[in-house]
Amino acid sequence: MIRVAWRSLRSHKLRTVLTTVAILLGVAMISGTYVLTDQIDRGFREIFTDAYRGTDVTVTRKARFAGQLVGATEGLPQDMVEQVRAVDGVEQVYGYATGMGAVVVRGEVVQTGGAPTLFFSYSPNDLTPPDYVRGRPPEEPGEVAVIQKLATDERLQPGSPITVVTDDGAHEATVCGVFRFAAQSSLGGSILVHTTLSDAQRWFGMAGRISEIDVRAEAGVSAAGLAARIRAALPAYTEVKTGAQAAADQTRALSDAIGTFLRPVLLSFGGIAVFVGAFIIFNAFSMTVAQRRREFALLRALGASRSQVLWSITAEALVMGVLASTAGLFAGLGVAAAVNQVFRSGGFDIPHSGLVLQPRTIVIALVVGVVVTMLSAVAPALRATRVPPVAALQEGAELPRSRLTRLTPALAAVVAVLGALLIAGGMYGGGSTLVRLATTAAGALSVFVAVAIASRSFVGPLAAWLGWPLQKVSPVSGRLARDNSRRNPGRTALTAAALMIGLAVVVFVAVLAQGLKSSFIDSFDRTVRADYIIAGTNYMTIPSDTERRIESVPGVEAVVSLDAQQVEAKDGVTAVVWGIDPVAIGRVWSFDWISGDDAALAELGRRGAVIEEQTAASLGVKRGGIVRVTTVEGRRADLKVLGTYRDPMILNGITVGMAGYDALFPKSQTFMVVAKARPGVDVGATQRAIETAMASVPTAKVRSTDEYKESTVDLVNQLLTLVYGLLALSVVISLFGIVNTLVLAVYERTREIGLLRAIGMSRAQVRATVRYESVITSIIGALMGIVVGVVFAWVVTTRFAGQGIVFSIPGAQLAAFLLLAVVVGVVAAILPARRAARIDILAAIQYE
Amino acid sequence: MSDDADVTIAPRPDPAPAACGAGTTIGLSDAVVQARGVEREYGQGDALVRALVGVDLDLERGAYTAIMGPSGSGKSTLMHILAGLDRPTAGSVRIDGEEITRLKERALTRLRRDKIGFIFQTFNLLPTLNAAENITLPLTIAGRRIDREWVGQLIETVELGDRLKHKPAELSGGQQQRVAVARALASRPAVLFADEPTGNLDSRTGEEVLGLLRRSCDELGQTIVMVTHDAHAAGHADRIVFLKDGAVAHDCGRLDRDEIYEVVKSLEDVG
Ligand SMILES: Nc1ncnc2c1ncn2[C@@H]1O[C@H](COP(=O)(O)OP(=O)(O)O)[C@@H](O)[C@H]1O
Ligand SMILES: [Mg+2]
């Protein structure tokens, strides 16, 4: 039977290829995701393992929690090194200071694509000494050594000048050496810089302190035993681990980040692609079964059982599924390799020790491809089994209507209600984020299915309506296309539905992004009363002396530094604490009070706070209540809530006065400085003066408030582009679906086309007919996608209205998507239209 | 023919009736279609089929000509070549004075659109269009203004007034062929080609269609070429051209049914 299936697939090569590609692409995306994330995972595991190779025990300051805004802890006293050295069984001790900053070469900040620029103090005691390829480690203050990738990219030699920017300001330095770390010339795009201990302490505000102590045990001493002895000798605020444990913890942190974010995100795009592919396979099999109706009837008349007919189709699906998944698996490897190439040429190395193809990836790719293909073919196959043997003798190609056809509206309604319930459950119900996301996604898929089922009943009128202008433009091709797209509404509906899915997600994302942008601008306009915003790129911190530098610029009336740190504000719930100058803030900021008023600012003192409404809600506090916050180092404070305000975009957390902030945190960590020009001064000239004052700190961008708004909108747009890129695959797959449907339709209409050509229709007119039908289908898909996407976005924005995302429809973008659909239609029609135009008239009108 | 076995076969008289010329008549003064030395071969080597072996034929304007001949004699091939649907391997064809065998694809399409009407044995109508739309289809394709009066006259001639809004599937076979005739006439073609137009109809409805073609010729002056193997159908024509083995065997004027049978029989026997 497999052989029969194989032969049948081979005899319809084009159809087989088109259908296979539909599922292949989704499988490729899924397997590519696994290959890529496994590779990153293994790459970093190797790096961390190498980094801790010579280290038996590490000592750090205990962190209460982890978070994105958690900066470096206060560290350990430098003399703790001696305390550790005194422990029995210690052979060598290496204490160093580390911190994050930026490197400026020839006046330009070296971009890392979001990866950190890390500084380490060098010591000859280093347990895993880096491999110096040129020059030597730093010995004198002002000397730094850089990782090889930076030296190569920026053409740095021993002797080259370089500027180091840290929270403490800009520092001139000279390159003294180039090294490789853990045998890597680069570390996933991060930049590593070696400094002297005294420079590191100065630049990172760690006078007399270090970040970590690494220990090597004497021969024969167990790492675990030594760790226990060191732990006993040190104060409770330290964290003592074995080197292996530290490497594993760091690897796990990264694996978790990949496993809980990168991989699921990429997989969900792959899932959408597979889902679209399933529609196309279902449609393709439905069409073939309809076409081969007499063949099945003949088989039945010759005595084949229903199950034999069923098996003949499922066998085809099986072969196709296996083909598609195998090819998809290899395509996935190709995708991963290509992504590596793209990142590498973008200067952002993904650690690579070759592509990683785990057995798990192979199994998932095969299972997804085969199961989805076979499931999609089951319903059409069942219909084939209901073809009565007598049909072999009848004319016409109508399949017996599915028993469910009569129930179609009811079925659509049931699935839609199920989808709505799932979405509601996911959005408003309880459970973990993952469960809720999965429930919502299942709901969304159900809605897609419901719309696809329901669409067969409105595709006809919609096509008539859309075809009307085409018919006006082109009386023959337009008219025929309009009629053709209505001839088999079920088929047109499914073909359009495949496009709907991809576009619905695109529209959903676009509407959300638009909402995000407009609420950002809205909230910004409502609160910010400043003229200038000074901030880093990618939410990096800027030097804490920025405020002071700008204060002295003539023409500046007020400057406020917005500093932030993360705290634990309830068990397991972290919040951001913003530190502001309570007096100056009123000149540049207008709080949108919900309770309390500007008078609250004056009362902030050391123990007062005002809270953004969402944070207040999640912590369950009101004006007059108390919030207990714990810093990463374990410092506690009970803050009295003096007011609540609305500011979902910037000060979204707990805002305290500078006095309260300094009491909690050892370092300021400035994210943004807002400044205002004196009334009457030239705003542009003052901006240039501020830029001059900040010239030595190129990491801090000086922008007018309008420029700042624009740059934030740009950032959202960039993200949007990335998401569009990931969704493009689904749209491409649905394009193949349109091609498939059209090729079949053209084949079925060979005689009609022959007749039309015989009575004088030109090839161009034939092509136009196919093209118009394609465009009508794709526009139907786009319209359904836009409606569904907008509704989804409306549901989500309504649910999360409190978090500041408004519902706002990007009209121009939706129009652009419609245009994109037209392009998809036109492109999809190229091949089928060419085939239609090439139909041999004589062969087509032959009747024998 | 089964009783032939019992009788002694007497030598036959001249097989062709008096109305038939020897060979073909060419050099007509007002010929719409002029074919000269038309040859058509299919395949090559051992599989070579010579469907037409040198056909010379002139078709007079306003005449109703039937092409007859045994199955495989090349009737359809000849019609396709005369109508610009196929190209001869050798020879030339002129329609309305225009040499068509070397025309480019585009010009051929235009020729079919403007100068030629077709009626096929089956499947003449687009299933999605109603009868009226099918009739005006060639005009729509050409982007020509629809002459209401002319179309109205056609509809009257084919007696379909009450069926105009019906889709082909809702029409009988005879009605469908009548719509096809009207469709073929709509663009006032120089020549109307019909390939076995009654082949799929019962004799009564076939008669309707044949009568309609006859009237088109008589009342509208339409030039008609009809391929048929049905003697009754051929009986409606002004002239009957008999093909055999890819060449014109006889070229006759009006014949009655018995005369036609006689010629047909003679052709089959000689083969
Ligand atoms: N496309 C073709 N390829 C090969 N041989 C063909 C083709 N079309 C017709 N023939 C051959 O040419 C000869 C004439 O065919 P045709 O014109 O269809 O005859 P008729 O219409 O008189 O029955 C026949 O022998 C037929 O087999
Ligand atoms: Mg024939």
**Considering only CA atoms, which residue is closest to atom 13 of ligand 1?**
B51
The secondary structure of residue A393, as a DSSP letter, is G
User: Residue A264 is encoded by which pair of tokens?
Assistant: 């699921």
Q: Taking CB atoms and an 8 Å limit, are B105 and A763 in contact across chains?
A: yes
Helices (H) and strands (E) in chain A, counts: 26, 24
Q: Taking CB atoms and an 8 Å limit, are B85 and A483 in contact across chains?
A: no
Q: What is the DSSP string of A326-377?
A: HHHHHHHHHHHHHHHHHHHHTT-PPP-SS----HHHHHHHHHHHHHHHHHHH
pLDDT tens figures, A716-732: 898 899 899 889 989 99
What's residue A261's pLDDT? 82
Q: What is the DSSP string of A759-821?
A: TT--HHHHHHHHHHHHHHHHHHHHHHHHHHHHHHHHHHHHHTGGGT------HHHHHHHHHHH
What's residue B16's pLDDT? 57
State how far the Cα of A518 lies from the Cα of A526, in Å rounded to an integer: 12
Which residues between 14 and 73 in chain B have a beta carbon less than 8 angstroms from any beta carbon of chain A? Answer: none
Chain B residues inside the 8 Å CB shell of A755: 120, 123-124, 126
Which range, of A96-110, A499-513, A766-780, averages the lowest pLDDT? Answer: A96-110
Q: Say yes or no: B112 contacts chain A, CB-CB below 8 A.
A: yes
pLDDT tens figures, A663-699: 998 888 899 999 999 999 999 999 999 999 998 888 8
Rg of chain B (C-alpha set): 19
Domain ranges in chain B are 61-87+102-270
Domain ranges in chain A are 54-254, 407-455, 457-527+706-848, 544-696
Percent of chain A with pLDDT over 70: 95
User: Residue A244 is encoded by which pair of tokens?
Assistant: 């292996």
Q: Is the pLDDT of residue B14 over 60?
A: no
What's residue B266's pLDDT? 82
Q: Taking CB atoms and an 8 Å limit, are B126 and A475 in contact across chains?
A: no
Whole-structure pTM over 0.95, yes or no?
no
Q: Is the pLDDT of residue B264 over 60?
A: yes
Choose one of B38, B39, B42, B80 to mutate for the ligand 1 pocket test, by most ligand atoms within 8 angstroms of C-beta: B42
Q: Is the pLDDT of residue B10 over 50?
A: no
Average pLDDT, chain A: 88
State how far the Cα of A426 lies from the Cα of A438, in Å rounded to an integer: 8
Beta pairing class for A636-645 and B247-252 = unpaired
- Beta bridge partner(s), residue A567: A575
Q: Taking CB atoms and an 8 Å limit, are A479 and B140 in contact across chains?
A: yes
User: Which CATH code is given to the segment(s) B61-87+102-270?
Assistant: 3.40.50.300
Q: How confident is the model at residue A393 (pLDDT cuts 50, 70, 90)?
A: low
What's residue A608's pLDDT? 93
Mean pLDDT of A372-386: 88
Q: What b/e sequence results for A602-612 when a residue is b if at least 16 CB atoms lie within 10 Å of its CB, and e otherwise?
A: eebeebbbbbb
Helices (H) and strands (E) in chain B, counts: 8, 11
Mean pLDDT of B26-49: 86
Give the distance (Å) from ligand 1 centre to CA of residue B47.
Answer: 13
Cβ atoms within 10 Å of A216's Cβ, excluding its own: 21
Which carries the bigger pLDDT value, residue A502 or residue A539? A502
Q: Are A376 and A278 in contact (CB under 8 A)?
A: yes
ipTM of the complex, rounded to two decimals: 0.89
Mean pLDDT of A300-327: 88
User: Residue A457 is encoded by which pair of tokens?
Assistant: 């009943």
What's residue B78's pLDDT? 94
Nearest by CB: B140 against A475, A484, A763: A475
Chain A nearest-CA residue for B124: A755
**Considering only CA atoms, which residue is closest to atom 20 of ligand 1?**
B72
Beta pairing class for A212-217 and A57-61 = antiparallel
**Considering only CA atoms, which residue is closest to atom 25 of ligand 1?**
B72
Which range, of A179-188, A203-212, A421-430, averages the lowest pLDDT? Answer: A179-188
The secondary structure of residue A401, as a DSSP letter, is P
Helix axes A763-799, A477-487, angle to 10 degrees: 50
- For the CA atoms of B247, B97, A476, A757, the dihedral, rounded to the nearest 10 degrees, stands at 20
Give the distance (Å) from ligand 2 centre to CA of residue B79.
Answer: 9
Give the distance (Å) from ligand 2 centre to CA of residue B93.
Answer: 20
What's residue B19's pLDDT? 63
Give the distance (Å) from ligand 2 centre to CA of residue A322.
Answer: 47
Chain B nearest-CA residue for A488: B128
Note the ligand closest to the C-alpha atom of B70: 1
Q: How confident is the model at residue A312 (pLDDT cuts 50, 70, 90)?
A: confident
Chain B residues inside the 8 Å CB shell of A480: 126, 128
The secondary structure of residue B242, as a DSSP letter, is E
Note the ligand closest to the C-alpha atom of B86: 1
Residue type, B52: L
What's residue B8's pLDDT? 40
Chain A residues inside the 8 Å CB shell of B105: 763
Q: Taking CB atoms and an 8 Å limit, are B124 and A755 in contact across chains?
A: yes
Chain B nearest-CA residue for A481: B128
Pure H helices in A474-595: 477-487, 489-527, 546-551, 585-588
What's residue B12's pLDDT? 41
Give the distance (Å) from ligand 1 centre to CA of residue B251.
Answer: 21
Q: Any residues with CB less than 8 A from the CB of A47 and at least 6 apart, and which? A: A181, A182, A184, A187, A188, A351
Mean pLDDT of A619-646: 92
Testing the interface with B: which of A749, A759, A772, A840 to mutate, by most B Cβ within 10 A?
A759
Give the distance (Å) from ligand 2 centre to CA of residue A428.
Answer: 72
Ligand 1 atom at shortest distance from the alpha carbon of B69: 22
pLDDT tens figures, A218-245: 988 899 999 999 999 999 889 999 999 9
Q: Taking CB atoms and an 8 Å limit, are B141 and A479 in contact across chains?
A: no
How far, CA to CA in Å, does A194 sit from each of A136, A295, A710, B218? 10, 76, 37, 106
Chain B nearest-CA residue for A760: B113
Nearest by CB: A760 against B80, B86, B112: B112
Q: Is the pLDDT of residue B4 over 70?
A: no
**Considering only CA atoms, which residue is closest to atom 12 of ligand 1?**
B51
**Considering only CA atoms, which residue is closest to atom 2 of ligand 1?**
B42
Chain B nearest-CA residue for A764: B106
Which carries the bigger pLDDT value, residue A2 or residue A85? A85
Q: Is the pLDDT of residue A2 over 90?
A: no
Q: Is the pLDDT of residue A593 over 80?
A: yes
Q: Is the pLDDT of residue B22 over 70?
A: no
State how far the Cα of A538 lies from the Cα of A513, in Å rounded to an integer: 18
Q: Taking CB atoms and an 8 Å limit, are A760 and B124 in contact across chains?
A: no
User: Residue A476 is encoded by which pair of tokens?
Assistant: 């023959």
Ligand 1 atom at shortest distance from the alpha carbon of B77: 17
Chain A nearest-CA residue for B135: A759
Chain A residues inside the 8 Å CB shell of B141: 476, 756, 759-761, 765
Give the distance (Å) from ligand 2 centre to CA of residue A105.
Answer: 85
What's residue A402's pLDDT? 56
Tokens 């590191």 sit on residue: A200
Q: Residues near ligand 1 with C-beta < 6 Å?
A: B 42-43, 49, 51, 69, 71-77
Q: Is the pLDDT of residue A352 over 80?
A: no
**Considering only CA atoms, which residue is closest to atom 5 of ligand 1?**
B42
Chain A nearest-CA residue for B81: A842
What's residue A828's pLDDT? 95
Ligand 1 atom at shortest distance from the alpha carbon of B74: 17
Average pLDDT, chain B: 86
State how far the Cα of A424 lies from the Cα of B31, in Å rounded to an integer: 80
State how far the Cα of A741 lies from the Cα of A286, in Å rounded to an integer: 11
CA atoms within 13 A on the CB side of A731: 24
A127 three-state secondary structure: coil
Q: Are A676 and A557 in contact (CB under 8 A)?
A: yes
B116 three-state secondary structure: strand
A643 three-state secondary structure: strand
Q: Are A328 and A25 in contact (CB under 8 A)?
A: yes
Q: Taking CB atoms and an 8 Å limit, are A842 and B109 in contact across chains?
A: no
CA A478, A483, A488, A494 dihedral sign is: positive
Q: What is the DSSP string of A467-482?
A: HHHHHHH-TTHHHHHH
State how far the Cα of A115 lies from the Cα of A156, in Å rounded to an integer: 20
In terms of Cα–Cα distance, which of A796, A735, A823 is closest to A507? A796
Q: Say yes or no: B105 contacts chain A, CB-CB below 8 A.
A: yes
Given 3-state DSSP classes, what are the helix, strand and coil percentages for chain A, each rounded to the nearest 5? 60, 15, 25
Q: Taking CB atoms and an 8 Å limit, are B80 and A757 in contact across chains?
A: no
* Cα A475 versus chain centre, distance: 47
Q: Any residues with CB less than 8 A from the CB of A752 and at least 6 apart, and which? A: B123, B126, B127
Q: How confident is the model at residue B268 (pLDDT cuts 50, 70, 90)?
A: confident
Give the distance (Å) from ligand 2 centre to CA of residue A166.
Answer: 91
Mean pLDDT of A402-424: 82
pLDDT tens figures, A9-66: 777 788 888 888 989 999 999 999 999 888 888 887 887 888 788 889 999 998 887 7
Q: Is the pLDDT of residue B243 over 60?
A: yes
